[in-house]
Amino acid sequence: MPAISFRSFAPADRAACLGVFDANCPAYFAPNERSEYAQFLDSNPGFYTVCVFDEAVVGAYGLKVHAKAKRGRISWIMLDPTVRGRGVGRQMMERAAQVGRGQGLAEIDIAASQKSAPFFARFGAVEIRRTADGWGPGMDRVDMEWRL
Ligand SMILES: CC(C)(COP(=O)(O)OP(=O)(O)OC[C@H]1O[C@@H](n2cnc3c(N)ncnc32)[C@H](O)[C@@H]1OP(=O)(O)O)[C@@H](O)C(=O)NCCC(=O)NCCS
């Protein structure tokens, strides 16, 4: 597979990002999360990064840095099903860790689900809280901490 490239989110990526969300809903995101994601995109988050393959946006993730607290937060990480399972998620986590370390972060918070928590656990993230149906019916919220 040709290389995936990464670049900062731009407002023109909104529809493509929502398309990736839709491709992962309801399997990995609860339908009620869509409006929250759209609002997030509309805030033009400068820390959001998109993954590009064959000139199309096929995924995205964010790392919000709270420099004073030396903490960060991974947000809205997702890939189109057609590119999943090929190591792109690992690249996103490695990039987040590199940026986090560069900014002096000690820990990164992750709000996962019961379906994605095992992925984050592979990188050393630890579950600190689980809320049944926290994201919507059938979608538990799993709060995790990832020590860098
Ligand atoms: C989570 C996600 C970003 C991972 O991306 P990916 O490209 O499929 O992951 P990779 O191929 O880089 O996998 C890295 C490793 O994690 C493992 N892995 C991937 N997804 C996993 C999961 N859901 N549970 C357990 N392990 C998982 C892979 O088997 C691989 O293991 P290996 O290193 O031993 O080979 C992607 O699957 C996705 O978009 N999921 C749906 C959206 C979602 O749930 N986002 C999280 C919201 S909090």
Instruction: Please indicate whether residue 123, judged by its CB atom, sits closer than 6 Å to ligand 1.
Output: no
CATH number, domain at 83? 3.40.630.30
Model pTM score:
0.96
Find the 89 Cα to ligand 1 centroid distance in Å. Answer: 6
Residue 87 is predicted with a pLDDT of: 94
For residues 60 and 74, what is the distance between their CA atoms, to the nearest angstrom?
11
Ligand 1 neighbour 74 (Cβ under 6 A): no
State the distance from the centre of ligand 1 to the C-alpha of 68, rounded, in angstroms. 30
Q: Residues 70-85: pLDDT tens digits?
A: 999 999 999 999 999 9
Number of domains forming the structure of the chain: 1
Nearest atom in ligand 1 to the alpha carbon of residue 20 is 39
**Domain with 115 in it:** 5-147
- The answer to whether the CB of 66 is under 6 A from ligand 1 is no
Q: How far is the CA of 22 from the centre of ligand 1 (A)?
A: 17
Q: Ligand 1, residue 88: give the atom nearest the CA.
A: 7
Spacing, Cα 72 to ligand 1 middle (Å) = 20
User: Model confidence over 4-51: pLDDT tens digits?
Assistant: 999 999 999 999 999 999 999 999 999 999 999 999 999 999 999 999
Rg, the chain, Cα only: 15
The answer, yes or no, to whether residue 2 has pLDDT greater than 80, is no
Which residue stretches of the chain are H helix?
14-23, 34-42, 88-102, 117-121
- Mean pLDDT for the chain? 95
Cα 9-134-20 angle, rounded to 5 deg: 30
At residue 89, what is the residue type? G
